[in-house]
A and B are shown apart, each in its own frame.
Chain A
Amino acid sequence: EAQVTQNPRYLITVTGKKLTVTCSQNMNHEYMSWYRQDPGLGLRQIYYSMNVEVTDKGDVPEGYKVSRKEKRNFPLILESPSPNQTSLYFCASSSDRVGEKLFFGSGTQLSVL
């Protein structure tokens, strides 16, 4: 089944403790992206990648890192999480290079205490 898989689904952590949210897609898509969703602010893009080793900032990249060493994986790294990064995170991929028809993962609810 074609899908975008994120792990974990729920994560509670403490300020400053490095964490990684994994994202994997099995559709051989070139484009991948991370979004965060907050009440009243909608979905905002954090980072995107148009291909392996090609990443770029979205609207809210501060406090996040990404890497794209393989086509299928696009992990989101929070080196030193803070409470304002408490949010619902979504990974997405697209078969086109500019992310027009996005397939989203199920989301990761992150709470930073």
Chain B
Amino acid sequence: DAKTTQPTSMDCAEGRAANLPCNHSTISGNEYVYWYRQIHSQGPQYIIHGLKNNETNEMASLIITEDRKSSTLILPHATLRDTAVYYCIVRVAGLSGSARQLTFGSGTQLTVLP
């Protein structure tokens, strides 16, 4: 699976959009981009995933560049409860011969400031 690079930490003002970048320059054509977050010591929470098109759900939007080498997770109106570590993960979807695990890296610590 392709390796991802994320900033170690970011701050965002409450009520503003939080834009979390992720670089995955070695991504291959059949690899999806997944985002999870982990609020301190709780279990990680799935946010969103996509292949090449931009995706949006009730939690966030995922913008993937045309060359797919990077993506941005957008939380449109950040709240204090969005303070968490955000993980960007790249992985081949589907069976592909075996159940491939999601590899969680170090992620980005997002702190939403009042």
Contacts and interface: CB of A to CB of B under 8 A. Distances in A.
Interface of A: 4, 31, 33, 42-43, 45, 48, 50, 56, 58-59, 88, 90, 92, 97-107, 109
Contacts, number: 57
Interface in B1-41: 32, 34, 36, 41
Nearest to A104: B43
Contacts of A90: 43-44
B89 to A, nearest CB: 10
Interface string B98-114: 11111011110000000
A45 B101 CA distance: 7
Contact of B100 (A92, A98, A105, A109): A98
A49 B112 CA distance: 37
Contacts of B46: 101-103
Contacts of A33: 101
Contacts of B93: 98, 100
Contact of A99 (B41, B43, B102, B104): B102
Contact of A107 (B43, B45, B49): B43
Contact of A101 (B41, B49, B98, B104): B49
Interface string B29-72: 00010101000011111100100000000000000000000000
Main SS of chain A's interface residues? Answer: strand
Nearest to A45: B101
Given A98-B94, A100-B93, A105 B101 contact: no
Interface residues of B, number: 24
B61 to A, nearest CB: 17
Contacts of A104: 42-45
B59 to A, nearest CB: 12
Interface string B73-99: 000000000000000000101111011
22 contacts: A33-B101, A42-B104, A42-B106, A42-B107, A45-B101, A48-B99, A56-B98, A56-B99, A58-B101, A92-B43, A92-B44, A97-B99, A98-B93, A98-B95, A99-B99, A99-B101, A100-B32, A100-B91, A102-B36, A103-B46, A104-B44, A104-B45
